[in-house]
Amino acid sequence: MATESSSTARLSCTSVPPARRVPSMIDDVREGLLSPPRWLPPKYFYDETGSLLFEAICDTPEYYPSRTEAALLAEYAGEIMTLSRPRHLLELGSGSSRKTRLLLDAWTAPAGTYWPFDVCAEMVASSGRALIDDYPDLVVRGLEGDYHGGLSCLPLPAEGRRLVAFLGGTIGNFHPGEAEAMLGEIADLLREGDHVLIGFDRIKDPAVLAAAYDDAAGVTARFNRNVLNVLNCALEADFPVEDYRHRSVYDPELQRVEMRLRAGHDHRVTFGRLATSIDMAGGEEILTEISRKFTPASFRRLLAAAGLVETAHFEAEGGLYSLVLAARR
Ligand code: SAH
Ligand code: AVI
């Protein structure tokens, strides 16, 4: 059962129980980190510090996806809201909800309800408070949880047309099978007349991608390394965080950017909570995130595999980034 942690008449924050078992951080570390090739799921980036670092990445000159998506929303939010006419706006991985304000500004339905869903409880709470101050007619029903646990336990009312937003290119952080499964779960939330709005990043000049994922001010490097602070804290580990180098690599075959952390020297990492340790060799890497890039056609194929069909496509100049509105096929 969902547990409500705070509420006012127009704002509540509720913890969403997973519909199926989600691996714990200890499970993930055992599976991904204890032996090479080493990897971590990207959701551990987003403690409060990591979420704020992500916001700072969005303000770097090199990270074009966020401001490009914002520009598309500024131009097309009216059309998107007219086409989808929602009563409920559910956003997956809502973060600060900064860009969502462009949709809210264009939302003319009386007393709509916004449902931000994110793994970072602090972001859900702080963005919800700011939104009810700034939008006097808006009801915010914040949901805190892990979307890998499924979407079938979300406390959405049966009545009222839905728009599900999945912005920022976050779908690119899923491996192909996971992305299809996630979109399939979104499709299951949609009924006749409901829509999903998805932002996805496009394949482009690798130099532009390299800069976007390795900004000159080093914000992305801090974001990447922060995941080791998260593990140090939660698992009583002792990664020498500052001795890891941030790397971003574009793989043209897999059409994805990979973020990695490279150990600067040989060392042993002890995990107090797991009563185990690993020996990292200097130069050894941990894959911390993939960020897949698409063409309009490859994204349409992904939608089709998940039982969705594109109903409108909004594309930035030069094919830099896309927003699609889709419905159940
Ligand atoms: N949509 C926002 C934020 C994108 S960053 C934007 O476009 O700017 C990715 C967001 O997804 C973060 O807010 C992060 O906390 C959230 N997130 C990552 N993994 C998650 C998971 N497993 N379950 C729920 N939210 C998750
Ligand atoms: C959240 N996600 C879409 C971002 C991305 O571009 O893949 C996360 C990110 N990683 C580095 N910079 C931004």
Q: Where are the domains of the chain?
A: 54-204+294-328, 230-292
pLDDT tens column, 38-85: 999 999 999 999 999 999 999 999 999 999 999 999 999 999 999 999
Beta carbon of 94 within 6 Å of any ligand 1 atom: yes
Please report the atom of ligand 2 found closest to the CA of residue 289: 10
Averaged pLDDT for residues 294-319: 98
Q: List C-alpha distances in Å: 71 to 67, 110, 114, 189, 234.
A: 6, 25, 21, 28, 38
Among protein residues, the one with the nearest Cα to ligand 2's atom 6 is 291
Place of tokens 């390299």: 210
What is the C-alpha to C-alpha distance for residues 158 and 2, in angstroms, rounded to an integer? 16
Place of tokens 């509720």: 14
Averaged pLDDT for residues 175-193: 98
Hey, what are 60's tokens? Answer: 């770097």
For the cut 60, the answer to whether the pLDDT of residue 4 exceeds it is: no
Closest alpha carbon to 46 in 120, 108, 145, 98: 120
pTM, two decimals, is: 0.97
pLDDT tens column, 12-28: 999 999 999 999 999 99
Which helix (DSSP H) or strand (DSSP E) does residue 51 occupy?
helix 48-58
Could you write out the three-class secondary structure of 80-104?
HHHHHCCCEEEEECCCCCCCHHHHH
Averaged pLDDT for residues 263-288: 98
Cis amide prior to 240 (ω within 30 degrees) = no
CA of residue 253 to ligand 2 center, whole Å: 19
pLDDT at 298: 98
Other C-beta atoms closer than 10 Å to the C-beta of 52 total 17
Averaged pLDDT for residues 288-294: 98
CA of residue 193 to ligand 2 center, whole Å: 31
Task: Domain 54-204+294-328: give its CATH code.
Answer: 3.40.50.150
| Residue 288: pLDDT band with limits 50, 70, 90 | very high
pLDDT at 88: 97
pLDDT at 108: 82
Beta carbon of 167 within 6 Å of any ligand 1 atom: yes
> What's the mean per-residue pLDDT of the chain?
96
**108-134: buried (b, 16+ CB within 10 Å) or exposed (e) per residue?**
eeeebbbbbbbbbbebbbbbbbebbee
Strands 162-166 and 88-92, by their bridges, are: parallel
CA of residue 90 to ligand 1 center, whole Å: 13
Percent of the chain with pLDDT over 90: 96
Place of tokens 């059409």: 255
Ligand nearest to the CA of 51: 1
